[in-house]
Amino acid sequence: MSDSPSSARRRLGLITIDQAIAGASNVLPSVLAARLLPVTSFAMFGITFLVYVLVQGVGRALVCDPLLVHPIEGEQRRGEVIGTTAVLGVVLGVAVVGSGGLAGIWSSELRTALFVLGACLPLLALQDLGRYLGFAMQRPKASVALDTWWLVLLFGAVAALGATDHRSLAWFVLAWAGTGALAGLLTIAQHRGAHIRPGLAWLRYTWSFSWRYLISYASTQGTALAGSGAVGGIAGARGLAGVNGAVLLVRPFATVQVAAIAAGVGETTRAQEDLARVRRQARRISALAAAAAFVNGAVALALPDSVGRLVLGDTWSAARPLLLATSVQILFLGAMTGLRAGLLGRRAIRRVMAIDVASTALVLVATVAGAAVDGARGAVWAVAMAQGLLMSAWLLAFQFETHPRFRHVGRHRRAAIADAEPAVQVGEPALAGRT
């Protein structure tokens, strides 16, 4: 495949489209469930979906994200990657079924829903892996096909539920997770030339990366939860609702950012020693993400009250005063997106890990301190200022990693640690109060 700038832009564009489709696949089930299910069943679906998000994060940390840092090895060992995902999907599915058995003590409806989800998880894991294989192998059309197929099947299944008046939670979870499982079969079809070997060979190969990805994922989620708890405890439920509402309005930027990082890591990994190309890619990705952040923030700030209330309901009045600070946050996050992707692609593991550890601590401290001073608004502005400080750290680390003067230092360091040190979670850095 061509490595020209136009080819890279096309791949980035397709990955962004895929992220938008995947985002729709995550949002639509909740919207459809709210319309089809009774209130109590909808609450149980929220718990079921949260369980899915958590196990999906574990699968990505152990298999999919290391694949972006090792795209060439992953392409050469596709059978091991797919086989490991299948085994891991079975293990996670059994864990979910077990949790369903425990949940049955509280709710038989939730138990059945988790049983259905657990049964679908092995193929759901393959569906998610297929997207990452498309990113890593520079074939984003395959990723778009996977997510489009799931979305089309989901609409058809939900329409069938409405027509036949099957409005129970179990039927809805079967429609949602079952169609995702069917889409997962397309991953096998797309890679039918690979010799699929069930086992944990890929996990063993990337273990020095994978277990730290898992720790990073757990710490990121824990920090987001702690930050939300701090805002809720200090600023009250209304303040927390406002933060969550403001974050919801900048989800379009988050979609672009995740796509940009996924594309940038793969592109940079394949051009590690071409420092000029790495810098160009980082600038291009940061420019795209910053532009997306600017447009998203401008649109959110320009929303009339009538539209804001239509989107967020009563939460709009609490979220509106926080939009300027939230927009500043995402501008900083957008500007550092290319730097993060470039460092991950260069496998500058120690630098990224150090910044991420500092980020976790700084954002949490800023959230608590800001909330203590001025409630939710203080928390969001404090995190915005923290992101500005972190932007400087990313710039310094990237300059050191890609400056020709330090080329030999970086080469010797990577040779020593590339197979022994971890990368970090490829995903969106935390916004204040993000859950």
Q: Provide the 3-class DSSP secondary structure of residue 105.
A: coil
Give the three-state DSSP class for 257.
helix
- Cα separation, 238 vs 318, in Å, equals 7
Distance CA 370, CA 363 (A): 10
CA atoms 425, 242, 32, 257: torsion sign: negative
Give the contacts of 292 (CB within 8 A, at least 6 positions apart).
Answer: 252, 253, 256, 257, 334
The answer to whether the Cα torsion of 253, 259, 260, 262 is positive or negative is positive
Element (DSSP H or E) covering residue 196: none
The residues near 215 (Cβ < 8 Å, ≥ 6 apart) are none
Length of the chain: 435
- How far is CA 214 from its chain centroid? 13
pLDDT at 406: 57
pLDDT tens digits, one per residue of 304-331:
999 888 877 778 888 899 999 999 999 9
Tell me what pLDDT residue 125 has: 96
The letter for the amino acid at 92 is: L
If we measure between CA atoms, which residue out of 19, 15, 26, 16 comes closest to residue 154?
26
Please report the pLDDT score of residue 420 as a whole number: 42
Question: Among residues 174, 130, 166, which one has the least CA distance to residue 148?
Answer: 130
Q: Cβ distance 433 to 228 under 8 Å?
A: yes
DSSP secondary structure code for residue 89 in this structure: H
Question: Residue 27: CB partners within 8 Å, gap ≥ 6?
Answer: none
Rounded to whole angstroms, how far apart are CA atoms 337 and 201? 31
Would you give the DSSP letter of residue 4?
Answer: S
What is the rounded CA–CA span in Å between residue 311 and residue 325? 19
Averaged pLDDT in 10-residue chunks for the chain of 435 residues: 59 73 74 78 82 90 86 87 95 95 87 95 94 85 90 90 83 93 94 87 87 77 76 83 84 81 77 76 88 93 90 84 94 93 81 81 91 92 94 91 62 45 42 45
What does the angle CA 60 – CA 416 – CA 61 come to, to the nearest 5 degrees?
A: 5
Question: Which contacts of 39-46 are long-range, i.e. CB under 8 A and separated by 24 or more positions?
Answer: 40/109, 41/109, 41/167, 41/168, 41/169, 41/172, 44/107, 44/109, 44/110, 44/113, 44/169, 45/113, 45/169, 45/172, 45/173
Cα 347 to Cα 59, 69, 413, distances in angstroms: 21, 7, 10
Sign of the dihedral through C-alpha 117, 121, 124, 125: positive
pLDDT given for residue 273 in this prediction: 67
169-190 and 39-59 helices cross at what angle (nearest 10)? 30
Compute the radius of gyration of the chain from its Cα atoms: 21
Q: Residue 197, exposed/middle/buried by CB under 10 A (0-12, 13-18, 19+)?
A: middle
What's the rounded Cα separation, in Å, for the pair 49 and 68? Answer: 26
Exposure string over 67-78, b if 16+ CB within 10 A, otherwise e: bbbbbebbbebb
Answer yes or no: are the C-beta atoms of 164 and 185 closer than 8 Å: no
The pLDDT of residue 434 is 42
